[in-house]
Chains A and B, each alone.
Chain A
Amino acid sequence: MKSLDIKKYPGFRAITLFCLFILYGPMLVIAVYSFNSLRSITSWGGFTFAWYLKAFNNPTIQVAALNSLFIAVVAALLSTMIAVSAALALARGKTFKGQSALFALINLPLMIPEIVTAVSSLVFFIAIGFNLGLLTILIAHVVFCIPFAYLPISARLQGIKGHFEEAAQDLYATRWQAFRFILAPMLMPGIISGLMLSFIVSLDDFIITNMVAGPGTTTLPIAIYGMVRVGFTPEINAISTVLLLTSLVFVTVSYFLSRNAPKNAKTKPLQH
């Protein structure tokens, strides 16, 4: 029987499920095979953690993981600090001439094809005589993480409606105290969300990192790329699964933080 609900289109649910299947299928397959004790694709030899142990004991992966972690933590912290500062001026301060141009500038890294950013960074670092390595990766990551950190922070700031800083200053707080005691705590979910998003964006980046890493410096994506070039091993599945899960956890936390945002940011009277 045809549904009488005119909003419904038959088959759309099936397509949605198919869409999710396509999106998650490959990831699930990789995760499942990372626990298969056999190297075989077709048969299941039983559940094992052996590939994870093997991956964790691989010195190349160890070094790459440490590099990735270090870069992602520092890049997330720096880019979030920079993004908070920029968002305060653009999304909370008074309007001014050229505001939308500056907004576009901050989001510029999102609009340029990543490969173009990658090669131009490479050329630039070489031109100014920087040695390619951890530092160049770090600089590149900080810069392109800025818009990712900026988005949740400015969204949160725009959700904070009301003269809270003025109220704080009216109650004898200095500008810094008004930020420290009032705006910063209210902004915190956005800041954490920004930290997490920039962390995973940095952790996951391959194209730019690969260009500016120079010989000998590896991060996890570079290590995985190198291993895939040689051939598939269950180790790759294991280390990939770890990265997948990391992203998943971080995105989920960040999502729930930003979802609860509007509720406690408002203090409008109930009648409204």
Chain B
Amino acid sequence: MNAQDKMAISIRNAAKQFGNFIALDNVSLDIAPNEFFTLLGPSGCGKTTLLRMIAGFETATQGEIFLYDEEIEKLPANRRSVNTVFQQYALFPHMTVAENVAFGMRMLKVPKDEITKRTSEALSMVQLAEFSHRRPSQLSGGQQQRVALARALAPKPKVLLLDEPLSALDLKLRQSMRAELKRIQRQTGITFVFVTHDQEEALTMSDRIAVMSAGKVQQVGTAKDIYERPNNIFVANFIGETNLIEVKIESIVKSVANCRMFDGSLIACTADAIAANIKTGKISVRPERLKLATKSSKGIKGVVTQSIYLGTDTQHIVRLGNQTELTIRSQNGDGPDANYEIGQEISVVIDPGVARLLTE
């Protein structure tokens, strides 16, 4: 089957400039059919610009966008088989819920009975069938959200774009909507391109994630990829929490680097994400991968400056000899030694293969 190489969306060297501001810097991405793909990044990273470019609301300064191999960059928004769920929903206030959902099909000149049929289908998919005659203003935020989703799905677009659709909802609602979105995506088999700044949202919902920053794609991969094998310091910092320790690189052999720490000790770390000729870098270790041990044990020496009980975990902050502070999180109930006093001198143990060598 050649659907394998036919990408739902293919972006080639897209760039966008607003005056002197570079919103997108030479971005290339492939999004596979039926994929739940997330653009994740802090505000101003270019993710919304990229989404609006796919939708047709922004023109690219350069580059091409393909929708199932069809060049769509020059097409106006209304001629792209792509629908958007807007951040503030943009439901038409003078139309009922059903009229809102039917609007896209009406514009596509779908026959009347089919519009009716597909409208009620779309509304029952989002569990709002009984609200079809209400006005958007008579619905709660979560309900409006689902109308926006039904409206965008009803014309059966090839790709659905979602622009931070959950950000206006409160926490509880947001969590249940995540599951609902995921269910609908599987049920309809439509490719979702989801924009968010919320890493938890991205990690829980996406098949693949593109982490963006400063107009560039920093890394593309599954949730596990980007959490466990971040490409650079930005990704390591942005996804979850991490500890960074400066090191000198002694040698790199087959993606394993031998690095010297500030206290003179050597550590082996994975180095698949850096260039060969680099002399210094930082090693990144997640807080839950670090271990604390008594002063006499082998490891980096430090002093506990904070100990916070967090329920399932206890978090310790340890200051090392070079003033670097490390965060170490250990599960409670593992053993009697989970608690260290403030001011206590201890050793921090980095197990082999846990540390990852990164550069900016």
Cβ contact within 8 Å between B169 and A181? no
Cβ contact within 8 Å between A169 and B77? yes
Query: How many A residues touch the partner, as a band?
Result: 20 to 34
CA distance A185 to B142 in the complex (A): 25
Contact with B along A30-65 (1 / 0, CB 8 A): 000000000000000000000000000000000000
Interface window among A99-107, A172-180, A236-244: A172-180
Given A186-B93, A268-B88, CB of A177 within 8 Å of CB of B169: no
Cβ contact within 8 Å between A264 and B141? no
B95-149: which have CB < 8 Å to A? 103-104, 107-108, 135-137, 140-142, 144-145
B265-324: which have CB < 8 Å to A? none
Residues of B contacting A271 in the complex (Cβ-Cβ under 8 angstroms):
141, 168-170
Contact with B along A162-177 (1 / 0, CB 8 A): 1110111111111001
A174 to chain B, nearest CB (A): 6
CA distance A263 to B93 in the complex (A): 10
Cβ contact within 8 Å between B93 and A267? yes
B231 at the interface (CB under 8 A from A): no
CA distance A197 to B297 in the complex (A): 86
B92 at the interface (CB under 8 A from A): yes
Cβ contact within 8 Å between B91 and A267? yes
Given A170-B55, A171-B155, A271-B169, CB of A162 within 8 Å of CB of B88: yes
CA distance A173 to B94 in the complex (A): 16
B15 to chain A, nearest CB (A): 20
CA distance A271 to B56 in the complex (A): 30
CA distance A170 to B83 in the complex (A): 6
Q: How many residues of B contact A (CB 8 A)?
A: 36
A171 CB contact (under 8 Å) in B107, B145, B168: B107
Residues of B contacting A185 in the complex (Cβ-Cβ under 8 angstroms):
94
B49 at the interface (CB under 8 A from A): no
Residues of A contacting B155 in the complex (Cβ-Cβ under 8 angstroms):
171-172
Chain A residue nearest to B82 (CB atoms) is A170
B37 at the interface (CB under 8 A from A): no
Given A166-B86, A167-B86, A170-B55, CB of A269 within 8 Å of CB of B144: yes
Chain A residue nearest to B141 (CB atoms) is A269
Cβ contact within 8 Å between B107 and A270? no
B76 at the interface (CB under 8 A from A): yes
Cβ contact within 8 Å between A172 and B78? yes
Which residues does A use to contact B, with CB under 8 Å? 161-164, 166-174, 177, 181-182, 185-186, 263-272
List 19 contacting pairs A-B, 8 Å CB cutoff, sorted by A.
Answer: A169-B56, A169-B77, A169-B78, A170-B55, A170-B82, A170-B83, A170-B152, A172-B108, A173-B78, A173-B103, A264-B135, A264-B137, A266-B93, A267-B89, A268-B168, A269-B144, A269-B169, A270-B141, A272-B141
Q: A267-B91, A269-B169 are in contact. List 12 more A-B contacts (CB 8 A).
A: A162-B86, A163-B88, A167-B92, A168-B107, A170-B84, A172-B78, A181-B103, A264-B93, A267-B92, A269-B141, A269-B144, A269-B145
Which residues does B use to contact A, with CB under 8 Å? 55-57, 76-79, 82-84, 86, 88-94, 103-104, 107-108, 135-137, 140-142, 144-145, 151-152, 155, 168-170
